A and B are shown apart, each in its own frame.
Chain A
Amino acid sequence: MVASTVAPPVASRPQRSRSRSWLRLVVLLAIVAVVLYPLIWMIGTSVKSQEEIVNNIGLLPEKFTPGNYTAGWSNFDVSFGRFFVNSAMVSLLTVVGNAVSCLLAAYAFARLKFRLRGMWFAVMIGTLLLPSHVLIVPQYILFRSLGLVGGDWPYLPLLIPQFLATEAFFVFLMVQFMRGIPRELDEAARIDGAGAFGIFRHVILPLSRPALVTTAIFSFIWTWNEFFRQLVFLSNLSDYTVPVALTLFIDSTSQSAVGPMFAMAVLSLLPVFVFFVAFQRMLVEGINTSGIKG
């Protein structure tokens, strides 16, 4: 099977290659079914009654039960709406922080000449694969000693790093992108009297829009799904984001919570799914040009 796919089709054997492409299609559709099954099962379960969750093994419910959604929404002392607002706020501010700070750093690396640039660039590349788990303990201690953990606005430990271009992937992506912007445009702007700031404002910023959009989409999705840092830094129920709130369902191990839990899981994936539908092509191209993981 595998070997049959590498060579271009042989024109002299149309009959055989047609039956092969049918076979290929069947195999691919079978894989699609396996890949999509968990997602469809998730949606189906979210509208099943408690009794059906246990007894009906089919994908779809016999009786449509939307009540899971209202039950899940108000399952805890704090409404799930609050968790969604918190998650949206953290994700959107992260988008802004990453876009601005990574663009500034990328411009410096891609276009400006300054002492030690090569060294700083190597350091930036070095931080690409630095696991965030390694720094979590000292970061927690530092943010706590600054009074920012569980403070009036507990999201600062999550957001401050994002405004300081610590997401090296995006810096790297933007540097790569800016390398494709013709230098003649810089020169033209320079002749018109623009300095480093003018070139940034009038040449690089407008032309970097595709890289900014890619960064924004990935920032949003990653932050929306992110769990580890939010788990560590958020401690009050009313401050929880969606992923942290979802784990509360696991604590209540009673079977009765499964339907509401699935309903909230479906809702929590909805924004990512909308982004996927809207920007599918861009996401796939995005990981191609940067090697970013989704």
Chain B
Amino acid sequence: MALTTAPDPTRRGTGSVRPPATRRGTGRIRHAEGLAGYVFLSPWLIGLMGITAIPMLLSLYLSFTNYDILTPWSEVEWVGLANYERMFTSDPSWWHSVRVTLSFALIAVPLKLAAALGVALLLNRAWRGVGLLRGLFYLPSLLGGSVALAIVWVNMFNREGAFNSFLALFGIEGKPWVNDPDWALETLMVLAIWQFGAPMVIFLAGLKQVPTELYEAASVDGAGKFRKFVNVTLPMLSPVIFFNLVLETINGFQGFTAAFVLSNGTGGPVDSTLMYTLNLYITGFTDLEMGYASAMAWVFLIAIALITVVFFSTGRFWVHYSDGEDR
């Protein structure tokens, strides 16, 4: 399981992930408190076991079987590594879904973060109306993950959609973008980028924390605006950039709803929107190959864990924490 939370980057100095120390009482009180601790923790513990741990183990077991929901448990066959072998060697649609998911995350996430940072920089001034604008930019992040908005999006990029009307203003003839295998995934990327508000709000909070003395010092040293951005803003913002990058990447890998709506649950046109999670859903709940779907889920989990580890181990080289200085 990936051990991954960036301590809240917008509040430097309070980011310990360890639980706060509690005072030691006398023996009897400590015993009573220990008991109380487990009483309060019990719903979470039951959930951890029943909803997370046992299903994970069951899923691991299933990934070595040919289980489908229809055959009784007594007839389930142990197939060893066959599911994994099939995934890597003889399932082109699995490889395809990996490519679709990777290209979605690699393109949409950086663009979304760039939009978020750009708009945050524009907003990072105290004047009237900033609160309202910030709220309006955030609105798509609240609505964008819904089925309703995905439906709107698909129609907007359809033949009679708003996007083609817009192109027509410039005399460009559009096409039904969502039905074109070369463009369908791109429309979903635009939908993801449109929701730049959530990372933007986090960037804004980070920008507020950059000490103005640093800019003054840079001015004294004769730095221009570009130099200040590169040498002051970006390094000071790097914990927030890191935090957004990790979260958005992992969210990006899990995109499901919009791809489901665009393709009516098939991953089409011509598998162009077959996101990994959609492929997993189709395998498990349409084709009922739950053993194979479990193997896919485990590969997904390991991939996410690996990516997180890579992020955290490379972050050391470019993320600048000022912890301790302003504590």
Contact = CB atoms under 8 A, between A and B. Distances in A.
Contact of B250 (A53, A129, A242, A258): A129
A143 B138 CA distance: 36
Contact of B44 (A7, A8, A101, A142): A101
A227 B5 contact: no
Given A6-B229, A127-B48, A262-B152, A54 B160 contact: yes
Contacts of B215: 6-8
A234 B285 CA distance: 12
Most buried by A among B147, B281, B284: B147
Interface residues of A, number: 118
B296 to A, nearest CB: 9
A268 interface: yes
Interface in B29-49: 30, 32-38, 40-41, 43-48
A243 B284 contact: no
B142 A221 contact: yes
Contacts of B156: 38, 41
A57 interface: yes
A280 B139 CA distance: 9
Given A4-B225, A281-B131, A120 B41 contact: yes
A5 B138 contact: no
Given A7-B219, A130-B2, A135-B55, A118 B18 contact: yes
A71 B284 CA distance: 35
A291 B148 contact: no
Contact of B148 (A3, A111, A163, A265): A265
Nearest to A32: B136
Contacts of B41: 104-105, 108-109, 114, 120
Interface string B4-16: 1110111100100
Tell me the interface secondary structure of chain A in the complex: helix
A124 B51 CA distance: 13
A2 B114 CA distance: 11
Contacts, number: 351
A197 B138 CA distance: 39
Interface stretch (B77-85, B87-95, B122-130): B122-130
Nearest 8 Cβ contacts at the A-B interface: A164-B47, A114-B37, A196-B36, A57-B165, A265-B148, A138-B55, A105-B44, A112-B37
Nearest to B57: A138
Given A137-B284, A243-B148, A250-B264, A176 B122 contact: no
Given A113-B33, A126-B4, A227-B260, A135 B40 contact: no
B229 A294 contact: no
B198 to A, nearest CB: 4
B297 A133 contact: yes
Interface in A223-237: 224-225, 227-228, 231-232
A135 B3 contact: no
Given A128-B4, A288-B10, A107 B48 contact: no
B28 to A, nearest CB: 11
A59 to B, nearest CB: 8
Given A5-B122, A24-B122, 15 more contacts: A6-B233, A8-B212, A38-B153, A108-B37, A114-B34, A118-B19, A129-B5, A133-B277, A138-B59, A138-B62, A171-B44, A227-B260, A246-B148, A265-B152, A289-B8
A6 B121 contact: yes
A95 interface: no
A92 interface: no
19 contacts: A5-B124, A28-B133, A39-B143, A41-B162, A104-B40, A105-B40, A110-B19, A113-B33, A113-B37, A115-B34, A125-B5, A129-B5, A134-B298, A139-B55, A196-B40, A262-B151, A265-B152, A287-B198, A288-B202
A112 B228 CA distance: 46
A197 B54 CA distance: 30
Contacts of B205: 288
Given A104-B41, A105-B41, A110-B20, A138 B152 contact: no
Interface stretch (B102-110, B251-259, B314-322): B251-259
Nearest to A268: B148
B277 to A, nearest CB: 5
Contacts of A291: 6, 8-10, 202, 243, 247
B151 A250 contact: yes
A107 B142 CA distance: 28
B19 A175 contact: yes
Contacts of A2: 118, 121, 229
A2 B227 CA distance: 12
A284 B201 contact: yes
A199 B53 CA distance: 31
A21 B20 CA distance: 45
A272 B253 CA distance: 25
B43 A164 contact: yes
A141 B290 contact: yes
A30 B165 CA distance: 18
Nearest to A270: B148
A276 B139 contact: yes
B194 interface: yes
A76 B200 CA distance: 40
A25 B165 CA distance: 27
A35 interface: yes
Most buried by B among A196, A251, A269: A196
Given A247-B261, A294-B141, A131 B55 contact: no
A117 interface: yes
